[in-house]
Amino acid sequence: MKAQFRIIVAAAFLLLSFSLGCTKQELAQPDHGNVIKLSIAGASTEILEFLYDGKVVANNTSPGEFLLQALLPVKDENSTIQVRKKGTAAILKSEKFYLHLSISK
């Protein structure tokens, strides 16, 4: 009789732990919004840093022509990229970009 009672208690405990463990209320990873592939091309006599949301997302490694690409999580449709010389805080240029859907085959 005790063995049957222990089996029933163990089964109830396992069933309860599985049912409570499967009800997750939050996402495993937070929503990052849209992720875009940012491409920046140009030429400069200085090493530049490109900032988004106060963080450096790309920079050219040497003066001259450059083509930079970065994956960028964008949270809203009106976003701004800022350009500054490496090692300075002064913003040289601020440029807005807009999200749009482009499908190519």
* pLDDT one-digit tens code per residue, 51-66: 988 889 888 888 899 8
Does residue 90 fall inside a structural domain? yes
Residue with tokens 């240029």: 93
Measured CA to CA, the distance from residue 81 to residue 62 in angstroms comes to 20
Q: What percent of the chain has pLDDT over 70?
A: 73
The phi and psi torsions of 17 (rounded to 5 degrees) equal -70, -35
Domain hosting 41: range is 34-98
Does residue 10 fall inside a structural domain? no
Does residue 28 fall inside a structural domain? no
Q: Contact 34/99 with Cβ under 8 angstroms?
A: yes
Average pLDDT of the chain is 79
- Order of strands across the sheet with 91-98? 55-59, 48-52, 78-85, 91-98
Counted domains in the chain: 1
- Report pTM: 0.60
Indicate the pLDDT class of residue 92, thresholds 50, 70 and 90. Answer: very high
Measured CA to CA, the distance from residue 79 to residue 31 in angstroms comes to 17
Does residue 8 fall inside a structural domain? no
